[in-house]
Amino acid sequence: MIPLPVALPRLVLVLALVLALAAALPARAHHGGAAVGMSGPEGPGAAIETTSPIPLPQDTLFLMVKSEYAPFQQFGFAEPENKVYSLFNTLVAGYGITPWLSGYLFVPFNVKSQTGVGTNVGFGDPGLYLNLGFKCDEGFRLVPPKESLDELMDWHFSFFAFVTVPMGPTISATRTLEWYAPDMQTGFGSPSFQVGIAAEKQLSADFTWLADASYQYFFPHTYPATRYQFGAESRVNAAIAWRAIATPGFRLDLAGEVNLLNLQRDQESNPAGTMEPLQASGGTLLYAGLGVRAYFGRFSAALAARTSFARWLNEEPSQQGSEGLEWVRVALTLSCVLPL
């Protein structure tokens, strides 16, 4: 841990400038995932994409806004309709129902842009998320109402479940009154369900290891021009968070993450009316990223970037606009915790 007798004013200024510039930029992604995490000046750290199993304290309100920007690589084969970027902005409100059970509401606002087609802007499907936390301390048990710093060093786990409610639009059209394709709509049209498990171990006062694994299934939906089903997604994330600076009222964490994502093929109805797997969809991706998170009392701000360093897409030469073919993914989060 680095003492901060002189460097704090300069560091705060630099961080404030970085966050101000990031907030002025749009932030985008192709698919959004539910992930939550919180921390404080003491205790375990939190990552950006990797879910923390630590539940909210009982009767505590958690507010977060997250934006992720993903500009896509452009290819000649996709001309004149290359996908340019995607954007997910998500507002999250969480509440500590009990010491071991937290509930969250996710409200996304999406932007998707494609050359020669247009830019579609609208709300996505809101989601409900439950996180059941437990720990290993001479056996498994639910997270107690209060834990000391020593007790926070124990292994912590959680089971989580996430369901989206189909409220986002699926019949948006371009300026020429042509329907946007299903992957350009801001809503999915049908519910999706996600289940997963998260784990965390504070290795020392300054280092925290986190990991999660989840599976998300999308039900098919009938769009104006077709019936379509997005492929199921399996995710495995792991992260190391380092508490680089800690002073009363201020903390700075650095985090490194690895994200494994498997996408099953999308499916679409054929002329006979049966669903069949689509070419130029699906595959497996491996992302690596770095992030910085600053805590100011009950408020925190985080900025992270990641890119795919390995990918095994099913038909990569034809999958422009797919995960793994972004130039980079940049995420900005702002959050606060308020006891009620």
pLDDT at 23 over 60: no
pLDDT at 299 over 70: yes
- How much of the chain is in helix, strand and coil states, percent to nearest 5? 10, 50, 40
pLDDT at 2 over 50: no
Closest CA to 181 of 231, 224, 123: 224
Please tell me the predicted confidence (pLDDT) of residue 40.
56
Phi, psi of 84 (to 5 degrees): -95, -55
**pTM, full prediction:** 0.85
pLDDT at 98 over 50: yes
Q: Which helix (H) or strand (E) holds 24?
A: helix 8-24
Q: Can you name the CATH fold of 8-339?
A: Porin (2.40.160)
Phi, psi of 170 (to 5 degrees): -130, 10
Sequence spans of domains, the chain: 8-339
**CA–CA distances in Å: residue 34 to residues 1, 49, 196, 213, 310:** 31, 9, 11, 12, 23
pLDDT (tens digit per residue) in 105-139? 999 999 999 999 999 999 999 999 999 999 998 89
pLDDT (tens digit per residue) in 68-96? 999 999 999 999 999 999 999 999 999 99
Amino acid at 320: Q
CB contact at 8 A, 269 and 221? no
Joined together, the tokens standing for residue 194 give: 């996600």
Q: What CA–CA distance (Å, rounded) separates 65 from 244?
A: 24
Q: What mean pLDDT value characterizes the chain?
A: 88
